[in-house]
């Protein structure tokens, strides 16, 4: 029996018997927008491969990191997440989850089309951006659906 026939027979047997054969995923962690590593078998209970590319800035110090590995599919969120905690402090990440052997090899697929909202201070020119406009950011290109602008409130205890 050839190795490929044996592998196919094993996968089919696991599926038919409901044995839950372990998943194999690429494993790596590195600075930068991608990484590569060896494909390894996931631990019991981890039934998804994941790629996470995160960008953060803390007090003006900028970094981009990538992680590939295994996790529980029920805990995995494919999409874009953004958090801003201050004028120079933010975190953004793009995550891709999948459930077949080696499906997290390569870079984050471009199929993630996330919708999100932001709130904060902007220059007045940001209020004049038209719907459908492309808004570039450090690592991403956003498509603006809507911009609502309101004057900033006065801080408590300050006269108008």
Model pTM score: 0.60
125 and 88 in a common domain: no
36 and 71 fall within a common domain? yes
Cα gap 157→130, rounded to integer Å: 36
- Higher pLDDT among residues 99 and 127, named by residue: 99
Q: Do 67 and 26 share a domain, yes or no?
A: yes
Q: How many independent structural domains does the chain possess?
A: 2
| Residue 86 and residue 123 in one domain | no
**Shared-domain flag, residues 99 and 135:** no
Supply the range of the domain harboring residue 50: 22-105
Give the model's confidence band at 28: pLDDT under 50 very low, under 70 low, under 90 confident, else very high: very high
| The pLDDT value given to residue 137 | 60
Structure confidence at residue 140 as a pLDDT band (50, 70, 90)? low
Nearest to 118 by CA among 91, 153, 78, 156: 91
Residue 132 domain flag? yes
Share of the chain above pLDDT 70, in %: 72
pLDDT of residue 87: 75
pLDDT per residue as tens digits for the range 44-65: 999 999 999 998 888 888 899 9
Check whether residue 126 and residue 101 sit in a common domain.
Answer: no
Pick from 136, 124, 121: nearest CA to 87:
121
């Amino acid at each position: 029996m050839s190795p490929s026939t044996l592998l196919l027979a094993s996968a089919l047997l696991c599926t038919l018997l409901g044995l839950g054969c372990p998943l194999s995923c690429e494993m790596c962690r590195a600075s930068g927008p991608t990484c590569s590593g060896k494909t390894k078998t996931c631990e019991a209970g981890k039934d998804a491969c994941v790629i996470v590319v995160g960008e953060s800035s803390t007090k003006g110090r900028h970094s981009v990191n990538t992680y590939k590995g295994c996790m529980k599919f029920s805990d995995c969120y494919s999409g874009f997440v953004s958090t801003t905690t201050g004028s120079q402090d933010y975190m953004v990440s793009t995550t891709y989850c999948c459930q077949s052997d080696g499906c997290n090899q390569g870079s984050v697929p471009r199929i993630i089309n996330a919708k999100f909202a932001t709130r904060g201070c902007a220059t007045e020119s940001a209020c004049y951006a038209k719907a459908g406009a492309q808004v570039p950011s450090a690592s991403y290109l956003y498509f603006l659906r809507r911009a609502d602008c309101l004057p900033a409130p006065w801080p408590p205890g300050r006269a108008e």
